[in-house]
Amino acid sequence: MNELKHAKETYDNTPIPSELSERVQAGIQKGKALYQNRRNRTFHRWMVAAACFCLVLAGLNLSPTLASAAANAPVLGGLFQVLIFVDYTKSEDDINYNVSAPRVEAESNLAEKVNAAIQEKVDQHLAKAQQDWDDYREAYFATGGTEDEWGDRKMDVIIDYEIKSQTEDWVSFTVSYAENWVSSYEECSYYNLNFTENRDLTLRDFLGENWVTVCNTAIQKQIDESIDANGLTYFFAPDEGGFTTVNESTSFYVREDGMIVVCFPKYSIAAGAAGNLEFVIRPQEE
Amino acid sequence: MSKPLVLALERAERSSSVTKEETLTQYLVKNQAGFYRLTYSVLKNQDDALDAVQTAVCHALERQDSLRNAGAIQTWFYRILMNVCNDVLRQRMRVVPLPTDWEPSQEDPEPTDDTLIQRVDALPLEVAAIIKLRFYEELTLNEISQITGQNLSTVKSRLYSGLKKLRIATEGAEIS
């Protein structure tokens, strides 16, 4: 054991560098700072979590939009849900895809029909985009364009959807298909589905028996109002292919506030500069 | 909870953590030479030992919340220190060894005549650490078991096997 004691003495006499106390102080300062940092971070995290919770509670009570968005959550939903079923972004062959297409979940053949229709439309659109792009590229090089000039030309293909409004029984949503490159192209599909009665909703459901007259009157009024001081308007005259009447195939959606919005695609009844045309129509009081 | 209550709780927590921080700081400053000795005996290099002590001190203050019982401060900090040393040793294993004709730098005084110290260092790391903590730092086997995170019986058997290798007569009373 003497030998061990001797070893301990040697150990105890290990020379201590003068630098040590400086280094220990440095460690203490840094450690204190890191500790404060950590505390603040934890505190902030709790504050943010608490704030978010308050916002959600307030939001559900104050905003019908948010409340109806929450209906998308599986537990809260009614007879049906609208879910994203294709959702991806990718780049391939100089095309940037940004696709989020919806899928309706409900126990009815209406849902199946709608999903199949959307799927078909999505496929068509993707094929068309590819075709447009290939044609453009071929034409570009056929007319003397070079690889250098082609550079990093890209095309954006965007598919997106928007739930305009929904209740326990029905939903109104749109799916938009867009291509952006040297020219751009956008198309919109409108869906108004009643799951209780398992059918598409029509303008008649919202505007009553006289729906054609109601729509035509309101739309004509808005077209007339669009004529500016110089007597000019984007709208075509009826005999030049302008607006004449709504019919069974006229697109529409239901706004959150219950207003009916009748839609006409770009170029259909007005100059392209006017874009997609929307006419807000107030449902008749019953 | 009402706002004044939350504030009061916060204040209480802050004041208790300030005293804990002070206790810890005082302990670290007071015992720094011991930390260095132990670290140096493991790492055998002045710069590495200084770095390790500084890192361990920094970790200790950063993670002071994990020290629940101020009475356990020594085992708690030694554990941090040993972990830092192990990290350094692990890093060294990844470093390409120096050529054999390399001479240790002047600032690394090797123990001169005491062969036992060298023999302790030649033992496997975990055994050497136990012997150092038991006989140099004079800690109890219980404390060593807490510091190294090993079972008490593991610590005992490693200690005995180490002493056997060192050819030191083991007298029970001296060891535990």
Lowest mean pLDDT among A28-32, A80-84, B10-14, B123-127: B10-14
Instruction: Name the residue in chain B with its Cα closest to that of A13.
Output: B37
Whether A57 shows a pLDDT value over 60: the answer reads: yes
- CA A188 to chain CA centroid, nearest Å: 13
A16 and B53 within 8 Å at the Cβ level: the answer is: no
Report CB contact under 8 Å: A1, B36. Answer: no
DSSP string, A151-187: TT--EEEEEEEEEEEE-SSEEEEEEEEEEESSSEEEE
What does the pLDDT average to over B139-161?
89
Q: Which residue of B lies nearest to A7 if distances are taken between CA atoms? A: B117
Residue A56, pLDDT score = 65
CB contact under 8 A, A11 and B61: no
Residue type, A217: T
CA distance B143 to chain A (A): 19
Contact residues on chain A for B33, CB-CB shorter than 8 A: 16, 20
Percent of chain B at pLDDT exceeding 70: 73
Confidence of residue A4 (pLDDT cuts 50, 70, 90): confident
pLDDT tens digits, B76-130 = 999 999 999 988 888 887 766 555 555 554 444 444 444 677 788 888 888 888 9
Nearest residue in chain A measured CA to CA from B54: A27
**How much is the ipTM here?**
0.71
Nearest residue in B to A19, CA atom: B50
Query: Per DSSP, what are the bridge partners of residue B51?
Result: none
Q: Does A40 touch chain B (CB under 8 A)?
A: no
Nearest to A7 by CA among B131, B90, B117: B117
CB contact under 8 A, B21 and A35: yes
Residue A24: list chain B partners with CB under 8 A. Answer: 28-29, 32, 53-54, 57
- Given an 8 Å threshold on Cβ–Cβ distance, is A14 in contact with B41? yes
In this predicted structure, the answer to whether residue A216 has a pLDDT above a threshold of 50 is yes
Which phi and psi (to 5°) does residue A192 adopt? Answer: -130, 105
Is the pLDDT at A114 greater than 50, yes or no?
Answer: yes
Shortest distance between the Cα of B37 and any Cα of chain A, in A, equals: 6
Q: How confident is the model at residue B6 (pLDDT cuts 50, 70, 90)?
A: low
B-chain residue closest to A2, CA distance: B168
Span A58-83, average pLDDT: 54
With cut-offs at 50, 70 and 90, classify the pLDDT of residue A74: very low
The token pair at A284 is: 């008749």
Q: Highest mean pLDDT range out of A71-75, A152-156, A191-195, B8-12?
A: A191-195
Mean pLDDT of all residues in A218-240:
83
Q: Where are the beta strands (DSSP E) in B35-175?
A: none
Position B146 pLDDT exceeds 80: yes
- Which CATH architecture group holds B111-176? Orthogonal Bundle (1.10)
Q: Does A34 touch chain B (CB under 8 A)?
A: yes
Say if residues B36 and A14 touch (Cβ distance below 8 Å).
Answer: yes
Confidence category of residue A145, pLDDT binned at 50, 70, 90: confident
Q: Kindly indicate the confidence band of residue B20, based on its pLDDT and cuts at 50, 70 and 90.
A: confident
Question: Under 8 Å CB-to-CB from A88, ≥6 apart: which residues?
Answer: A97, A99, A100
Smallest Cα distance from B40 to chain A, Å: 8
CA atoms within 13 Å, Cβ hemisphere of A158: 14
Q: Which long-range contacts (C-beta less than 8 Å, at least 24 apart) are formed by A129-136?
A: A129/A95, A129/A155, A129/A157, A129/A179, A130/A93, A130/A95, A132/A179, A132/A181, A132/A185, A133/A93, A133/A94, A133/A95, A133/A181, A136/A181, A136/A182
Q: Give the residue extent of every domain in chain B.
A: 1-110, 111-176
Residues in chain B: 176
What pLDDT score was predicted for residue B106?
A: 47
Q: Which residues of B touch A12 (CB under 8 A)?
A: 37, 136
- The chain B residues in contact with chain A (CB within 8 A) are 21, 25, 28-29, 32-33, 36-37, 40-41, 46, 50-51, 53-65, 109, 111, 114, 116-117, 120, 132, 135-136, 168-169, 171, 174
A134 backbone dihedrals φ, ψ, rounded to 5°: -65, -45
Chain B residues in contact with A21 by the CB 8 A cut-off are: 29, 32
Query: ∠ CA A126-A132-A134 to the nearest 5 degrees?
Result: 100
Going across the sheet that includes A184-194, the strands are: A80-92, A95-106, A155-166, A170-180, A184-194, A199-200
Per-residue pLDDT, B18: 60
Q: Taking CA atoms, what residue in B is nearest to A35? A: B62
In contact, A34 and B60? CB cutoff 8 Å: no
Are the C-beta atoms of residues B109 and A15 closer than 8 Å to each other? yes
Residues of B in Cβ contact (< 8 Å) with A2: none
| Residues of B with Cβ-Cβ distance to A43 under 8 angstroms | none
Residues of chain A contacting residue B59, judged by C-beta atoms under 8 Å apart: 31
Give percent above pLDDT 90 in chain B. Answer: 26
- Dihedral sign of CA atoms A17, A19, A25, A26 in order: negative
The nearest alpha carbon in chain B to A28 belongs to B58
pLDDT of residue B36: 94
Quick one: pLDDT at residue A23? 92
Give ∠ CA B99-B116-B132 in degrees, rounded to 5.
90
Residue A106, beta-bridge partner list: A80
**Cα A257–A258–A262 angle (5° rounding)?**
110
Task: Give me the total of CB pairs closer than 8 Å, taking one residue from chain A and one from chain B.
Answer: 95
Which of B40, B62, B174 is closest, CB to CB, to A31?
B62
B95 φ/ψ sector (left φ>0, alpha ψ -120 to 50, else beta): beta
Please give the CATH number for the structural domain made up of B1-110.
1.10.1740.10
Confidence band of B176 (pLDDT split at 50, 70, 90) = very low
Residue A156 near residue A182 (C-beta atoms within 8 A)? no
B55–A27: do the CB atoms touch at under 8 Å?
yes
Encoding tokens for residue A150?
């082609």
Q: How is residue B125 written in tokens? A: 């790391």
Is pLDDT at A204 greater than 70 in this prediction? Answer: yes
User: Closest to A10 (Cβ–Cβ): which among B33, B117, B171?
Assistant: B117
CB contact under 8 A, B29 and A8: no
